[in-house]
Chain A
Amino acid sequence: MQEFYNRSILTVLTFLPMVAALLILLMPRGAVIAIRGFALAAALVNLALSVPLFFLFRSAEAGMQFELQVPWVYLSGQPAITYHVGIDGISLFMVLLTTFLSAIAIAGSFGGIRTREREYYALMLFLEAGMAGVFVALDLVLFYTFWEAMLIPMYFIIGVWGGQRRIYAAVKFFLYTMIGSLLMLVAILVLVWLNYQHTGVRTFDILQLSAVPMTRAAQNLLFLAFGLAFAIKVPMFPFHTWLPDAHVEAPTAGSVILAGVLLKMGTYGFLRFCLPLFPEASAAFAPLLIALAIIGIIYGALVALVQPDMKKLVAYSSVSHLGVAVLGIFVFTLQGMMGGMVQMISHGLSTGALFLCVGMIYERRHTREISEFGGIWAVMPKYGALLIMVTLASIGLPFMSGFVGEWLVFLGSWLANPWYAVFAATGVILSACYMLWMIQRVLQGEITHEQNRGLKDLNLREMAVLVPLVAGTIWIGVYPKPVLDRIEPSLARIQEIVAPAQPFAEDPAGPMSFRGVRDEESPPARTSQTYERQVVVQPRDSSHRVRNDNPAAHRVRNDSPMSFRGVRDEESPPAQTSGAPNNAPQESGR
Chain B
Amino acid sequence: MRAYLWLIPLLPLLGVLINAWFGHRLPRRVSGAVACLVVFGSFVLGVAALIRLIGMPPGQRIIYHKLFPWISTGGFESAVALMYDPLSAVMVCVVTGVGFLIHVYSLGYMAHDPRYPRFFAYMNLFTFAMLMLVLADNFLLMFVGWEGVGLCSYLLIGFWFERKSASDAGMKAFIVNRVGDFGFLLGMMFIFAVFGSLRFHDVFKQVAADPATLTLTVTGICLLLFVGATGKSAQIPLYVWLPDAMEGPTPVSALIHAATMVTAGVYMVARCWIMFLNAPLALTVVACIGALTALFAATIALVQNDIKRVLAYSTISQLGYMFMACGAGVFAAGVFHLMTHAFFKALLFLGAGSVMHAMSDDTDIRRMGGLMKWLPVTGVTFWVGTLAISGIPPFSGFFSKDEIIWSSLAGPMGSWVFWVFGVVTAALTAFYMARLTFKVFHGQPRMSGEQKHHLHESPPSMAWVLILLAVGASLAGFLNIPPAIAHLLHLPERWTAAFTNFLEPSVGTHEQAVYLLEASVGGSQIGFAKLAHGLQHNAALEFGLMGITLALAAGAILTGRWMYVSRPGTGTALARKLPFLFRTLQNKYYLDEFYKAVIVRPGMALGNALWRGFDVLVIEGIVNGIAIATAIISRLFRVFQTGYVRNYAAGILAGAILIIWVLMR
A397 touches B151 (CB 8 A): yes
Tell me, yes or no, whether A536 is within 8 Å of chain B by CB.
yes
Binary contact track B495-532/A, C-beta < 8 Å → 1, others 0: 00000000001000101100110000000000000000
Q: What residues on B are CB-neighbors of A302 within 8 Å?
A: 603, 606-607, 610-611
Contacts A306-B608, A428-B182 known; A398 to B196 CB distance under 8 Å? no
Give the docked Cα–Cα distance between A568 and B205 (Å): 12
Tell me, yes or no, whether B58 is within 8 Å of chain A by CB.
yes
Q: Which residue of B lies closest to A399 (CB)?
A: B144
Apart from the given pairs A531-B75, A544-B202, A582-B209, 7 other A-B contacts in the complex at a CB distance below 8 Å: A334-B74, A414-B189, A479-B70, A517-B214, A544-B77, A557-B209, A568-B62
Most chain A beta carbons < 10 A, residue from B70, B205, B216: B205
A298 CB → nearest B CB, Å: 9
B393 CB → nearest A CB, Å: 33
* A/B interface sample: 7 pairs, CB < 8 A: A398-B148, A418-B189, A446-B162, A491-B74, A542-B196, A571-B64, A587-B60
B209 touches A555 (CB 8 A): yes
Most chain A beta carbons < 10 A, residue from B164, B168, B603, B615: B615
B167 touches A398 (CB 8 A): no
Interface residues of B in 117-176 (CB under 8 A from A): 140, 143-144, 147-148, 151, 154-155, 158, 161-164, 167-168, 171, 174-175
Binary contact track A550-567/B, C-beta < 8 Å → 1, others 0: 001111110011111110
Q: What residues on B are CB-neighbors of A543 within 8 Å?
A: 77
Q: What residues on A are CB-neighbors of B151 within 8 Å?
A: 392, 397
Q: Which residue of A lies closest to B58 (CB)?
A: A590
How many residues of B are in contact with the other chain, CB < 8 A? Answer: 84
Q: What residues on B are CB-neighbors of A425 within 8 Å?
A: 182, 185-186
Tell me, yes or no, whether A436 is within 8 Å of chain B by CB.
yes
Tell me, yes or no, whether A488 is within 8 Å of chain B by CB.
yes
Give the docked Cα–Cα distance between A552 and B148 (Å): 38
Interface residues of B in 594-648 (CB under 8 A from A): 603-604, 606-608, 610-611, 615, 619-620, 623, 627
Q: What residues on A are CB-neighbors of B656 within 8 Å?
A: none
Give the docked Cα–Cα distance between A158 and B412 (Å): 69
Q: What residues on B are CB-neighbors of A399 within 8 Å?
A: 144, 148
Query: Which residue of A335, A437, A445 contacts B162 across the interface (Cβ within 8 Å)?
Result: A445
Give the docked Cα–Cα distance between A63 and B65 (Å): 36
Q: Which residue of A lies closest to B611 (CB)?
A: A303
Contacts A479-B68, A590-B58 known; A335 to B148 CB distance under 8 Å? no
B162 touches A444 (CB 8 A): yes
B202 touches A305 (CB 8 A): no
Q: What residues on B are CB-neighbors of A539 within 8 Å?
A: 75
Tell me, yes or no, whether A408 is within 8 Å of chain B by CB.
yes
Q: Which residue of B lies closest to A244 (CB)?
A: B615
Q: What residues on B are CB-neighbors of A414 within 8 Å?
A: 186, 189-190, 192-193
Q: Which residue of A lies closest to B161 (CB)?
A: A444
Q: What residues on B are CB-neighbors of A538 within 8 Å?
A: 74-76, 196
Tell me, yes or no, whether A443 is within 8 Å of chain B by CB.
yes
Give the docked Cα–Cα distance between A533 and B606 (Å): 35
Tell me, yes or no, whether B179 is within 8 Å of chain A by CB.
yes
Most chain A beta carbons < 10 A, residue from B171, B190, B608: B171
Q: What residues on A are CB-neighbors of B74 within 8 Å?
A: 333-335, 337-338, 408, 412, 488, 491-492, 538, 540
Q: What residues on B are CB-neighbors of A445 within 8 Å?
A: 161-164, 167
Interface residues of A in 472-510 (CB under 8 A from B): 478-481, 484-485, 487-488, 491-492
Interface residues of B in 171-222 (CB under 8 A from A): 171, 174-175, 178-179, 181-182, 185-186, 189-190, 192-197, 199-202, 204-206, 208-210, 213-214, 216-217
B615 touches A241 (CB 8 A): yes
Q: What residues on A are CB-neighbors of B147 within 8 Å?
A: 397-398
Q: Which residue of A lies closest to B148 (CB)?
A: A398
Q: Which residue of A lies closest to B608 (CB)?
A: A306
Give the docked Cα–Cα distance between A227 and B301 (Å): 59
Q: Which residue of A lies closest to B60 (CB)?
A: A568
Tell me, yes or no, whether A407 is within 8 Å of chain B by CB.
yes
A421 touches B189 (CB 8 A): yes
Interface residues of A in 393-427 (CB under 8 A from B): 397-399, 404, 407-408, 410-412, 414-415, 418, 421-422, 425-426
A516 touches B214 (CB 8 A): yes
Contacts A421-B189, A481-B72, A514-B217 known; A565 to B174 CB distance under 8 Å? no
Closest 6 CB pairs of A and B: A538-B75, A546-B196, A334-B74, A444-B167, A414-B189, A444-B161
Contacts A399-B148, A429-B179, A566-B204 known; A335 to B505 CB distance under 8 Å? no
B161 touches A519 (CB 8 A): no
Interface residues of B in 62-97 (CB under 8 A from A): 62, 64-66, 68-77
Tell me, yes or no, whether B492 is within 8 Å of chain A by CB.
no
Tell me, yes or no, whether A569 is within 8 Å of chain B by CB.
yes
Tell me, yes or no, whether B449 is within 8 Å of chain A by CB.
no
Tell me, yes or no, whether A114 is within 8 Å of chain B by CB.
no
Query: Which residue of A241, A429, A484, A547 contacts B72 across the interface (Cβ within 8 Å)?
Result: A484
Q: Which residue of B lies closest to A480 (CB)?
A: B71
A422 CB → nearest B CB, Å: 6
Give the docked Cα–Cα distance between A540 and B72 (Å): 10
B167 touches A440 (CB 8 A): yes
Give the docked Cα–Cα distance between A172 and B628 (Å): 12
Q: What residues on A are CB-neighbors of B75 within 8 Å?
A: 334-335, 531, 537-540, 542, 546
B318 CB → nearest A CB, Å: 27
Q: What residues on B are CB-neighbors of A544 within 8 Å?
A: 77, 197, 199, 202
Tell me, yes or no, whether B27 is within 8 Å of chain A by CB.
no
Q: What residues on A are CB-neighbors of B509 within 8 Å?
A: 561
Tell me, yes or no, whether B59 is within 8 Å of chain A by CB.
yes
Binary contact track B232-265/A, C-beta < 8 Å → 1, others 0: 0000000000000000000000000000000000
Q: What residues on A are CB-neighbors of B210 within 8 Å?
A: 519, 552-553, 555
B217 touches A517 (CB 8 A): yes
Tell me, yes or no, whether A261 is within 8 Å of chain B by CB.
no
A374 CB → nearest B CB, Å: 10
Give the docked Cα–Cα distance between A480 and B71 (Å): 6
Give the docked Cα–Cα distance between A377 and B158 (Å): 12
B76 touches A408 (CB 8 A): yes
Q: What residues on A are CB-neighbors of B59 within 8 Å?
A: 563, 565, 587, 590
Q: What residues on A are CB-neighbors of B199 within 8 Å?
A: 544
B61 CB → nearest A CB, Å: 8
Binary contact track A524-537/B, C-beta < 8 Å → 1, others 0: 00000001000111
Tell me, yes or no, whether A375 is within 8 Å of chain B by CB.
yes
Tell me, yes or no, whether A450 is within 8 Å of chain B by CB.
no
B73 touches A334 (CB 8 A): yes
Give the docked Cα–Cα distance between A411 and B72 (Å): 12
Most chain A beta carbons < 10 A, residue from B71, B197, B208: B71
Give the docked Cα–Cα distance between A240 and B92 (Å): 49
Query: Which residue of B70, B161, B516, B607 contacts A480 across the interface (Cβ within 8 Å)?
Result: B70
A562 touches B175 (CB 8 A): no
B162 touches A378 (CB 8 A): yes
Give the docked Cα–Cα distance between A302 and B69 (Å): 36
Give the docked Cα–Cα distance between A408 and B3 (Å): 31
Give the docked Cα–Cα distance between A554 and B195 (Å): 12
Contacts A299-B610, A565-B59, A571-B64 known; A433 to B175 CB distance under 8 Å? yes
B631 CB → nearest A CB, Å: 12
Contacts A335-B74, A338-B73 known; A536 to B182 CB distance under 8 Å? no
Give the docked Cα–Cα distance between A388 and B182 (Å): 21
Give the docked Cα–Cα distance between A516 and B211 (Å): 12
Contacts A335-B75, A415-B193, A444-B162 known; A428 to B62 CB distance under 8 Å? no
B71 touches A484 (CB 8 A): yes
Tell me, yes or no, whether A210 is within 8 Å of chain B by CB.
no
Give the docked Cα–Cα distance between A241 and B603 (Å): 21
Q: What residues on A are CB-neighbors of B516 within 8 Å?
A: 562
Tell me, yes or no, whether A6 is within 8 Å of chain B by CB.
no
B106 CB → nearest A CB, Å: 20
Give the docked Cα–Cα distance between A242 and B75 (Å): 38
B175 touches A545 (CB 8 A): no
A443 touches B202 (CB 8 A): no
